Structure formats: C-alpha cells, structure tokens
Amino acid sequence: MFRKVLVANRGEIAVRVLRTLKRLGIPSVAVFHFVDRAAPHVEMADERVELTGAVPSAAYLDSAQILEACRQLNVDALHPGYGFLSENADFAETVTRAGIRFIGPDAAVMRLLGDKIRSRELAKKAGIPVSPSVELTGLADEVATAAKLGFPLLVKASAGGGGKGMKIARDLPELESAVTLARSEAARYFGDARIYAERLLLRPRHIEVQILGDGQGNVVHLGERECSIQRRYQKIIEESPASAIDPKIRTAILDSAVALTREAKYGNAGTVEFILGEDGTFFFLEVNARLQVEHPVTELVTGIELVEAQLRIAAEKKLPFTQEQITFSGHAIEMRVCAEEPERGFRPAVGRIGLLRLPRTVDARMDSGVREGTTVTSAFDSLLLKLIVHAETRGEAALKAQTALQELTLLGVSTNIDALARIVGSKPFRAGDLHTGFLEEHPTLIETPVDPKAEEHARIIAALGDPDFRRIAFATPEPHASIGAFRN
C-alpha cells in the first residue's frame, strides 16, 4: 500500500477519505485554507499544510502549492476527492510525473471521457445508444441544423458539469439565446467554449452506474443508482438500486457502462451516467472520472468500501474482486443536506452552526464535514453533510429516511432538511414516480410559506446553542446573589 497519502480536498469528502486512511493505518496529510483551519478534516489528518489563495476556493485549485506540499512531506499518493482538481487531466498528469500516484484514472483517459463530445463518439463506437446531437462551433447555420433535431433541446458545454453551461430550448428563439448563454458560461467556468445540443427526453430519469477498472481493460460494475431528484441540474436525493426498471433495461444499462469503460481501458473508480425515457429508451449521458458524492448508497447495498477499493487499485493495478463476487442487498437512500433556502429558490444560506444533533435512527449513516461551531460561508459549495439509510426494501428505506431527517437537528443556518423530509415522505416519491422534473411538478414540497415568528424562534434557539452566547450569558452576575441577606 502507500507510505503517505495527501487528500487534496476539504469538507465531507476529505473526512470520508481520511477515515479510510486511518482505518488502514496509512499516514495522511490534509490541506486547508485559513477559513478551514478548524475544520474536521484538518483535525483528523496526521499532518496538515495551509494553502493560500486570493479567495478560499482558489487555494484548493492551486496545483503548484499542493504539489509542493507533497514534496515537502514525502507523500507518495494523492487522493483528489470530487470537485476542485479531481477531473483536471493536467493536474493528474503533473502529479504522476512528480512520481506521486494519482488515485484515479490516468490523464489520457480523463481527457477522453471528460470531453463530452469525444466520449459520445467512444460510446457510439462501443455500440451504446447516444441521443441525437449536433456540435455548435459558432457557424451561422448550426442553430438551424440543431433545430432539425426537434424540440425541446438541451444545450450543454462539452467540458461541463454540475449544471454549468447547460440550457433548455423549447423553440428557435430560445435556442439562439441558449447557445449564446451556454457558450459564455462554458468559456467562463471551464475555459472551453465548445458546446453541443441534444434532444431532451420528457420526464427522463437520471440513472448512473458505478464501475471499477484496473486500467488494463478489466471492469466490474457495482450496480446502478437513481439520481432523478434534482434542483438546478444538481442531485439532492440518490438511491440504489433504481426502482421500477424493467430487468432487461437494467441489464442493458449495466452492460453499456462496462462496455464503454472497458473500451477506454478505465482505471480506478468512475461513474457512467445515462438518461432513461418513459418508454424505456436510454441514452449515454457522460462519464464522471472520479468518486461520486452519492457513492455511499452503493457501499451500503454491496458492502464494498469504495475508497479502500480505489487505494488498492491504485497501489496494485488490479481489481480486488470479480463481478461474480459482488452481491447486492437491500435498498439505500442518500439525502444531501445543504445550506440553502428551498422556499426562496434554493438560495444559498450562511451562518454559524450552533447546534448539531444526529438522528437516533438505526442504520442511519452521516458523512459530514461540519460540526457545532462551524461557520458556513458562501466561499464553497453549499453541501454540509449527507444522511444515508439502508433497509431491506425501498419502502422501509424511505420511511427510515424520513424519520432520520425529522430527528436530525441543525441550527444556526438555514438548510433543506424539512424539504427533504417532505420529498421522501410524499406519495409520488414512495410510488417511485421519479424524473428529473420531479420538484417542478410538485412545487408544494419545497415552496412552503415563510413564517417570520418561526424564523425568529429558530434564531433564538440557535443563539442558545452557541457556546459563546452561553458562556457570556451565564458569566453575568445575578444581582440578588451579590447582596447577601439584605432585601428591600
């Protein structure tokens, strides 16, 4: 295994990776910006290095500082987590050239599969269904060509992800506007202005497959995940396995994921994403060449620890098990708890966590990067923690998920906890009537009226949970305690 591993990330994913390193007895290094100096991941690591940046997020994107930290502390492997530099092929290549093992796919595979246009061509070569599309390079007649695919269309950035550079067009005027906006966002967020348009399926489901490869063409899948409950193209609830899918379609999707990544000679953990129509038609969407946020649901239904699998594949260049050795049990659901205000269009929220109480529900797992006293700012993604449950059936898992959310207490910053509880407790969710427009179709699950009295009450409770408030309040002398027996 490795001598020492640096985790080039923060928040819950850094804590998640460090937990596995600690269990395996592998020394670890955390990096952090000053605003994260008291974060759990910094405390967990055996060694830590402070990074600087014009803004906090820039520190975690500074490959030169991270590599220098690796050299100074004699690190021989680096885990990128997700986000930040995790899918940056240039970074992966630089790390490898420095003699440090990058725990993920190699740079060439990352460039191939990270480019949505090239990966679609590879999918076609592997015989995998791909939605009709046209690349939009800026020529005047391309918008008209795209329109011939039929509306609605989805305009996407070739190098994109996370909903950036993605626009829906329902007619020609919307398409022209979408092309301009998508190209601008693609250039701003990814430094790559290439975009393309594809047919948009109505009421589609978002299905993804977790794979592991050894880089030599050997690939196994760990089942599929349902990720259809989304807001602004970003997932908030994921589950495994996906419900109400014809077994033949499930097998076809799983086989397609394996065929594509085998063709690419994929190494380490990755996810192949598909879009599934109501009629059973499915199309390849993209490959995420990293560990996914929602990986815990796969861990719970397979019993396979994915971070450990990543480490072993990176160290030994072989798969730790065969497809036949992978078994599936029960149903798992993950809910992303974010600092945001669902009733105000999921506006990001900030504040200081004054009170955090974990649910008492049996089999409820919480992957968290925060604790009481953590200051939540707008500097990073709004994800605070993930609540994951496992049960024998989907119905039992949904009930357990709702109970766990109701038992989870987080005060001091607005969150989506109540909205998540309403979603998993709703009849459409329990019935498995899922698609990516679920929240738009059921707006009452998130658009609750704001009660000013309730907000004021929450602020008071949060203040009472603040240790600084309690220290100052209880240190104040009580008048009658200082005047002896005298009374008026």
Q: Give the per-residue pLDDT at 479.
A: 58
Exposure string for 82-101, b = 16+ CB within 10 A, e = fewer: bbbbbbbbebbbbbeeeebb
Q: Give the per-residue pLDDT at 192.
A: 86
Q: Distance from first CA to last CA of the chain, Å, rounded?
A: 77
Say which DSSP state 282 is in: E
Which pLDDT tens digit goes with each residue over 81-126?
A: 999 999 999 999 999 999 999 999 999 999 999 888 899 899 999 9
CA distance 314 to 136: 37
Q: What is the mean pLDDT of residues 470-480?
A: 57
Exposure string for 254-263, b = 16+ CB within 10 A, e = fewer: bebbbbbbbb
Name the CATH topology of 5-103: Rossmann fold (3.40.50)
Q: Give the per-residue pLDDT at 188.
A: 84
Region of poorest pLDDT, from 38-52, 178-192, 271-285, 409-423: 178-192
Q: Give the per-residue pLDDT at 458.
A: 60
Q: Give the per-residue pLDDT at 362.
A: 72
Q: Band of the pLDDT at 135, cuts 50, 70, 90? A: confident
Q: Band of the pLDDT at 470, cuts 50, 70, 90? A: low
SS3 state of residue 25: coil
Q: What share of the chain is helix, strand, coil (3-state, %, to 5)?
A: 40, 25, 35
Q: Up-side HSE of residue 422: CA atoms within 13 Å toward CB?
A: 15
Q: Give the per-residue pLDDT at 472.
A: 57
State pTM to two decimals: 0.85
Say which DSSP state 415 is in: -
Q: List the chain domain ranges.
A: 5-103, 132-199, 205-445
Higher pLDDT, 15 or 114: 15
Q: What are phi and psi of 487, to 5 degrees?
A: -140, 150
SS3 state of residue 156: strand
Name the CATH topology of 205-445: D-amino Acid Aminotransferase; Chain A, domain 1 (3.30.470)
Higher pLDDT, 138 or 152: 152
CA distance 56 to 21: 25
SS3 state of residue 45: coil
Q: What are phi and psi of 220, to 5 degrees?
A: -125, 155
CA 327 to chain centre: 24
Q: Band of the pLDDT at 484, cuts 50, 70, 90? A: low
- Average pLDDT score, the chain: 91
Residues 6+ apart with CB under 8 A from 173: none
Q: What are phi and psi of 163, to 5 degrees?
A: 85, -5
Asked whether residue 268 carries a pLDDT value surpassing 90, the answer given is yes
Asked whether residue 480 carries a pLDDT value surpassing 60, the answer given is no
Q: Which range among 131-135, 191-195, 317-321 has the greatest average pLDDT?
A: 317-321
Q: What is the mean pLDDT of residues 307-324?
A: 97
Q: What is the mean pLDDT of residues 203-215?
A: 97
Q: Give the per-residue pLDDT at 267.
A: 97
Q: What is the mean pLDDT of residues 183-204?
A: 86
Q: Give the per-residue pLDDT at 361.
A: 76
Q: Band of the pLDDT at 462, cuts 50, 70, 90? A: low
132-199 homologous superfamily: ATP-grasp fold, A domain (3.30.1490.20)
Query: Helices marked H in 349-416 — which ranges?
Result: 394-407
Burial of 148 from C-beta contacts in 10 A (0-12 / 13-18 / 19+): exposed
The amino acid at residue 242 is A
Query: Helices marked H in 344-413 — which ranges?
Result: 394-407
Q: How far is CA 238 from CA 50, 142, 294, 435, in A?
A: 34, 36, 6, 12
- The two tokens of residue 60 are 């975690």
Q: Give the per-residue pLDDT at 363.
A: 77
Q: Band of the pLDDT at 385, cuts 50, 70, 90? A: very high
Q: Band of the pLDDT at 450, cuts 50, 70, 90? A: low
CA distance 94 to 65: 12
Higher pLDDT, 285 or 487: 285
Q: What is the mean pLDDT of residues 254-283?
A: 96
Q: What is the mean pLDDT of residues 415-429?
A: 97
Q: Which of 144, 309, 142, 353 is nearest to 221 (CA)?
A: 309
Region of poorest pLDDT, from 52-61, 108-117, 392-401, 423-432: 108-117
Asked whether residue 471 carries a pLDDT value surpassing 70, the answer given is no
